[in-house]
Amino acid sequence: MNFYKHYIGDFQRDTGHLSLTERGAYLALIHHYYATEMPLPKDHPSLCRVAGAFTKPERDAVKVAMGFFTMVDSGLMHNRIEAELHKAGEISTTNRDIALAREAQRRITKDRRTEHEPCTNRAPSVARTEHEQSTPQTPDTINTEEANASLSSATPTPPCPHIEIIELYAQHLPNLPQPKAELWSGARATALRQRWAWLLTAKKKTGERYAIDKSEGLDWFARFFAYVGESDFLTGRGGSWSCDLGWLVKSENFSKVVQGNYENQKAAA
Protein backbone atom coordinates (compact mmCIF):
# COMPACT_ATOMS: atom_id res chain seq x y z
CA MET A 1 0.00 0.00 0.00
CA ASN A 2 1.69 3.18 -1.21
CA PHE A 3 -0.81 5.72 0.17
CA TYR A 4 -2.79 6.12 3.38
CA LYS A 5 -4.78 8.91 5.00
CA HIS A 6 -2.96 10.51 7.93
CA TYR A 7 -5.51 11.92 10.38
CA ILE A 8 -3.57 14.68 12.11
CA GLY A 9 -6.05 15.16 14.96
CA ASP A 10 -6.07 11.48 15.88
CA PHE A 11 -2.29 11.28 15.62
CA GLN A 12 -1.79 14.35 17.83
CA ARG A 13 -4.20 12.99 20.43
CA ASP A 14 -2.55 9.58 20.56
CA THR A 15 1.07 10.73 20.46
CA GLY A 16 0.97 14.11 22.23
CA HIS A 17 2.83 12.65 25.21
CA LEU A 18 5.73 11.33 23.10
CA SER A 19 9.07 13.00 22.46
CA LEU A 20 10.11 13.98 18.96
CA THR A 21 12.32 10.88 18.69
CA GLU A 22 9.54 8.60 19.92
CA ARG A 23 7.12 10.04 17.39
CA GLY A 24 9.64 9.49 14.64
CA ALA A 25 10.11 5.86 15.68
CA TYR A 26 6.35 5.30 15.72
CA LEU A 27 5.95 6.83 12.23
CA ALA A 28 8.78 4.69 10.87
CA LEU A 29 7.09 1.54 12.16
CA ILE A 30 3.61 2.34 10.83
CA HIS A 31 5.07 3.34 7.45
CA HIS A 32 6.76 -0.06 7.23
CA TYR A 33 3.49 -1.73 8.24
CA TYR A 34 1.54 0.04 5.50
CA ALA A 35 4.24 -0.64 2.89
CA THR A 36 4.43 -4.38 3.57
CA GLU A 37 0.79 -4.91 4.67
CA MET A 38 2.14 -7.41 7.17
CA PRO A 39 2.56 -7.46 10.99
CA LEU A 40 5.83 -6.06 12.32
CA PRO A 41 8.58 -8.26 13.80
CA LYS A 42 8.10 -9.02 17.48
CA ASP A 43 11.69 -8.67 18.65
CA HIS A 44 13.21 -5.31 19.52
CA PRO A 45 16.44 -5.64 17.47
CA SER A 46 14.49 -6.33 14.26
CA LEU A 47 12.18 -3.38 14.94
CA CYS A 48 15.19 -1.13 15.44
CA ARG A 49 16.50 -2.25 12.08
CA VAL A 50 13.09 -1.48 10.49
CA ALA A 51 12.99 2.00 12.07
CA GLY A 52 16.67 2.75 11.43
CA ALA A 53 17.31 3.17 15.15
CA PHE A 54 21.00 2.81 16.09
CA THR A 55 21.73 5.11 19.01
CA LYS A 56 20.52 4.29 22.52
CA PRO A 57 17.90 7.11 22.59
CA GLU A 58 16.56 5.92 19.21
CA ARG A 59 16.41 2.29 20.33
CA ASP A 60 14.64 3.35 23.54
CA ALA A 61 12.15 5.29 21.41
CA VAL A 62 11.35 2.10 19.46
CA LYS A 63 10.53 0.36 22.75
CA VAL A 64 8.03 3.11 23.54
CA ALA A 65 6.48 2.89 20.07
CA MET A 66 5.96 -0.86 20.51
CA GLY A 67 3.26 -0.02 23.04
CA PHE A 68 0.95 1.12 20.22
CA PHE A 69 0.83 -2.40 18.74
CA THR A 70 -0.80 -5.66 19.83
CA MET A 71 1.35 -8.77 20.16
CA VAL A 72 0.03 -11.82 18.28
CA ASP A 73 1.75 -14.98 17.13
CA SER A 74 2.66 -13.60 13.70
CA GLY A 75 4.06 -10.30 15.02
CA LEU A 76 2.90 -6.87 16.15
CA MET A 77 -0.59 -5.95 14.90
CA HIS A 78 -2.23 -2.52 14.74
CA ASN A 79 -6.05 -2.32 14.72
CA ARG A 80 -6.30 1.04 12.94
CA ILE A 81 -3.85 0.06 10.21
CA GLU A 82 -5.59 -3.27 9.62
CA ALA A 83 -8.91 -1.44 9.28
CA GLU A 84 -7.40 0.98 6.74
CA LEU A 85 -5.85 -1.89 4.76
CA HIS A 86 -9.25 -3.60 4.73
CA LYS A 87 -10.96 -0.44 3.51
CA ALA A 88 -8.35 0.10 0.78
CA GLY A 89 -8.74 -3.52 -0.33
CA GLU A 90 -12.50 -3.12 -0.65
CA ILE A 91 -12.07 0.02 -2.79
CA SER A 92 -9.51 -1.77 -4.97
CA THR A 93 -11.83 -4.74 -5.45
CA THR A 94 -14.76 -2.47 -6.33
CA ASN A 95 -12.68 -0.53 -8.87
CA ARG A 96 -11.46 -3.79 -10.41
CA ASP A 97 -15.03 -5.12 -10.70
CA ILE A 98 -16.17 -1.88 -12.33
CA ALA A 99 -13.29 -2.07 -14.83
CA LEU A 100 -14.08 -5.71 -15.65
CA ALA A 101 -17.77 -4.91 -16.12
CA ARG A 102 -16.88 -1.98 -18.38
CA GLU A 103 -14.57 -4.18 -20.47
CA ALA A 104 -17.24 -6.89 -20.74
CA GLN A 105 -19.77 -4.34 -21.95
CA ARG A 106 -17.24 -3.02 -24.46
CA ARG A 107 -16.71 -6.52 -25.85
CA ILE A 108 -20.47 -7.13 -26.12
CA THR A 109 -20.88 -3.88 -28.02
CA LYS A 110 -17.98 -4.76 -30.32
CA ASP A 111 -19.39 -8.25 -31.02
CA ARG A 112 -22.82 -6.81 -31.84
CA ARG A 113 -21.25 -4.30 -34.21
CA THR A 114 -19.14 -7.00 -35.89
CA GLU A 115 -22.19 -9.24 -36.32
CA HIS A 116 -23.83 -6.70 -38.63
CA GLU A 117 -20.69 -5.85 -40.63
CA PRO A 118 -19.65 -7.73 -43.80
CA CYS A 119 -17.02 -10.42 -43.13
CA THR A 120 -14.92 -9.21 -46.11
CA ASN A 121 -14.48 -6.19 -48.33
CA ARG A 122 -14.43 -8.38 -51.45
CA ALA A 123 -16.77 -7.35 -54.22
CA PRO A 124 -19.95 -9.48 -54.58
CA SER A 125 -18.91 -10.51 -58.11
CA VAL A 126 -15.72 -12.23 -56.86
CA ALA A 127 -16.29 -15.95 -56.30
CA ARG A 128 -15.47 -17.60 -52.97
CA THR A 129 -12.61 -20.09 -52.89
CA GLU A 130 -13.26 -23.81 -52.38
CA HIS A 131 -11.89 -23.62 -48.84
CA GLU A 132 -14.12 -20.66 -47.95
CA GLN A 133 -17.18 -22.47 -49.29
CA SER A 134 -16.49 -25.61 -47.26
CA THR A 135 -15.50 -23.90 -43.99
CA PRO A 136 -17.54 -20.73 -43.52
CA GLN A 137 -16.30 -18.73 -40.53
CA THR A 138 -18.03 -15.79 -38.92
CA PRO A 139 -17.17 -13.96 -35.70
CA ASP A 140 -20.05 -15.80 -34.00
CA THR A 141 -18.83 -19.29 -34.93
CA ILE A 142 -15.24 -18.44 -33.98
CA ASN A 143 -16.31 -17.17 -30.58
CA THR A 144 -18.50 -20.24 -30.06
CA GLU A 145 -15.64 -22.61 -30.88
CA GLU A 146 -13.26 -20.79 -28.50
CA ALA A 147 -15.87 -20.85 -25.75
CA ASN A 148 -16.52 -24.57 -26.24
CA ALA A 149 -12.78 -25.31 -26.18
CA SER A 150 -12.41 -23.31 -22.96
CA LEU A 151 -15.32 -25.13 -21.34
CA SER A 152 -14.06 -28.56 -22.38
CA SER A 153 -10.58 -27.87 -20.93
CA ALA A 154 -11.83 -26.52 -17.61
CA THR A 155 -11.89 -28.81 -14.58
CA PRO A 156 -15.47 -29.00 -13.26
CA THR A 157 -15.99 -28.18 -9.59
CA PRO A 158 -19.19 -28.25 -7.54
CA PRO A 159 -21.01 -24.88 -7.57
CA CYS A 160 -20.25 -22.68 -4.58
CA PRO A 161 -22.93 -23.31 -1.88
CA HIS A 162 -23.16 -19.67 -0.74
CA ILE A 163 -26.16 -20.12 1.55
CA GLU A 164 -24.74 -23.13 3.36
CA ILE A 165 -21.38 -21.40 3.91
CA ILE A 166 -23.19 -18.32 5.27
CA GLU A 167 -25.10 -20.60 7.66
CA LEU A 168 -21.83 -22.19 8.84
CA TYR A 169 -20.41 -18.71 9.43
CA ALA A 170 -23.45 -17.78 11.54
CA GLN A 171 -23.21 -21.04 13.47
CA HIS A 172 -19.54 -20.70 14.42
CA LEU A 173 -19.24 -16.89 14.59
CA PRO A 174 -22.61 -15.64 15.90
CA ASN A 175 -21.09 -12.56 17.57
CA LEU A 176 -19.63 -11.15 14.35
CA PRO A 177 -21.61 -9.02 11.84
CA GLN A 178 -23.97 -11.32 9.95
CA PRO A 179 -24.62 -10.95 6.20
CA LYS A 180 -28.14 -11.25 4.82
CA ALA A 181 -28.27 -14.19 2.45
CA GLU A 182 -30.74 -12.42 0.15
CA LEU A 183 -28.29 -9.50 -0.25
CA TRP A 184 -25.17 -11.62 -0.71
CA SER A 185 -24.06 -10.64 -4.21
CA GLY A 186 -21.53 -8.62 -6.17
CA ALA A 187 -17.86 -8.59 -5.20
CA ARG A 188 -18.42 -10.54 -1.97
CA ALA A 189 -20.18 -13.39 -3.76
CA THR A 190 -17.47 -13.43 -6.44
CA ALA A 191 -14.75 -13.58 -3.79
CA LEU A 192 -16.44 -16.48 -1.96
CA ARG A 193 -16.88 -18.32 -5.26
CA GLN A 194 -13.15 -17.90 -5.95
CA ARG A 195 -12.19 -19.16 -2.46
CA TRP A 196 -14.46 -22.18 -3.00
CA ALA A 197 -12.82 -22.91 -6.37
CA TRP A 198 -9.39 -22.70 -4.72
CA LEU A 199 -10.46 -25.09 -1.98
CA LEU A 200 -11.62 -27.69 -4.51
CA THR A 201 -8.50 -27.42 -6.70
CA ALA A 202 -5.51 -26.46 -4.51
CA LYS A 203 -3.24 -29.20 -3.22
CA LYS A 204 -1.39 -29.66 0.05
CA LYS A 205 2.35 -30.39 0.20
CA THR A 206 1.43 -34.07 0.27
CA GLY A 207 -0.24 -33.75 -3.13
CA GLU A 208 -3.75 -34.22 -1.76
CA ARG A 209 -6.48 -31.65 -2.39
CA TYR A 210 -8.00 -29.80 0.55
CA ALA A 211 -11.45 -31.01 -0.51
CA ILE A 212 -12.71 -33.18 -3.34
CA ASP A 213 -16.46 -32.61 -3.12
CA LYS A 214 -19.12 -30.36 -1.62
CA SER A 215 -19.30 -32.27 1.68
CA GLU A 216 -15.56 -32.03 2.33
CA GLY A 217 -15.57 -28.38 1.26
CA LEU A 218 -18.27 -27.49 3.78
CA ASP A 219 -16.44 -29.41 6.51
CA TRP A 220 -13.31 -27.38 5.74
CA PHE A 221 -15.19 -24.08 6.00
CA ALA A 222 -16.69 -25.19 9.32
CA ARG A 223 -13.17 -25.76 10.67
CA PHE A 224 -12.03 -22.48 9.13
CA PHE A 225 -14.74 -20.45 10.90
CA ALA A 226 -14.06 -22.25 14.18
CA TYR A 227 -10.38 -21.33 13.78
CA VAL A 228 -11.33 -17.67 13.16
CA GLY A 229 -13.39 -17.74 16.36
CA GLU A 230 -10.23 -18.47 18.37
CA SER A 231 -8.56 -15.21 17.29
CA ASP A 232 -9.00 -12.29 19.67
CA PHE A 233 -8.01 -9.87 16.90
CA LEU A 234 -10.44 -11.15 14.24
CA THR A 235 -13.38 -11.43 16.65
CA GLY A 236 -12.85 -7.99 18.20
CA ARG A 237 -11.94 -9.30 21.66
CA GLY A 238 -8.59 -7.56 21.36
CA GLY A 239 -9.88 -4.16 20.21
CA SER A 240 -12.74 -2.20 18.67
CA TRP A 241 -12.48 -3.75 15.17
CA SER A 242 -13.76 -7.17 14.10
CA CYS A 243 -13.91 -8.94 10.77
CA ASP A 244 -16.97 -10.10 8.84
CA LEU A 245 -17.59 -12.71 6.15
CA GLY A 246 -16.95 -10.25 3.32
CA TRP A 247 -13.54 -9.44 4.81
CA LEU A 248 -12.65 -13.09 5.40
CA VAL A 249 -13.24 -14.23 1.81
CA LYS A 250 -11.16 -11.49 0.18
CA SER A 251 -8.06 -13.07 -1.35
CA GLU A 252 -5.37 -11.26 0.67
CA ASN A 253 -7.25 -11.55 3.98
CA PHE A 254 -8.14 -15.19 3.40
CA SER A 255 -4.49 -16.01 2.73
CA LYS A 256 -3.33 -14.25 5.90
CA VAL A 257 -5.86 -16.13 8.04
CA VAL A 258 -5.00 -19.51 6.52
CA GLN A 259 -1.29 -18.81 7.04
CA GLY A 260 -1.90 -18.14 10.75
CA ASN A 261 -1.14 -14.40 10.82
CA TYR A 262 -3.93 -13.69 13.31
CA GLU A 263 -3.40 -16.50 15.81
CA ASN A 264 -3.23 -15.58 19.47
CA GLN A 265 0.28 -15.89 20.82
CA LYS A 266 -0.91 -17.85 23.85
CA ALA A 267 -3.05 -20.23 21.80
CA ALA A 268 -0.27 -20.85 19.30
CA ALA A 269 2.19 -21.66 22.07
Instruction: Encode pLDDT of 25-67 as tens digits.
Output: 999 998 988 888 888 998 999 999 999 999 999 999 999 999 9
Distance CA 97, CA 104 (A): 10
pTM > 0.75: no
H-only helix segments in the chain: 8-15, 20-36, 44-51, 56-65, 79-115, 130-134, 139-153, 162-172, 186-201, 214-228, 232-235, 245-248, 251-258, 265-268
**101-158 confidence digits (pLDDT tens):** 676 677 777 766 665 555 455 555 555 555 555 544 444 443 444 444 443 344 567 8
Average pLDDT over residues 166-177: 94
Distance CA 269, CA 266 (A): 5
Whose CA is closest to 226, among 253, 196, 257, 266? 257
Residues of the chain with pLDDT > 70, as a percent, come to: 74
Q: What is the pLDDT of residue 60?
A: 96
**64-88 confidence digits (pLDDT tens):** 999 999 888 778 888 888 877 777 6
Q: Residue 159 pLDDT > 60, yes or no?
A: yes
CB atoms near residue 146 (< 10 Å): 10
Lowest mean pLDDT among 8-17, 169-178, 259-268: 259-268
* CA max distance for the chain: 91
| Residues facing residue 70 across a β-bridge | 77
Query: Taking all residues of the chain, what is their mean pLDDT, rounded to a whole number?
Result: 80
Ordered by start, the domain boundaries in the chain are 8-81, 158-268
- What backbone torsions phi and psi does residue 203 show, to the nearest 5 degrees? -120, 145
- Calculate the alpha carbon distances from 124 to 68, 128, 132 in Å: 78, 9, 14
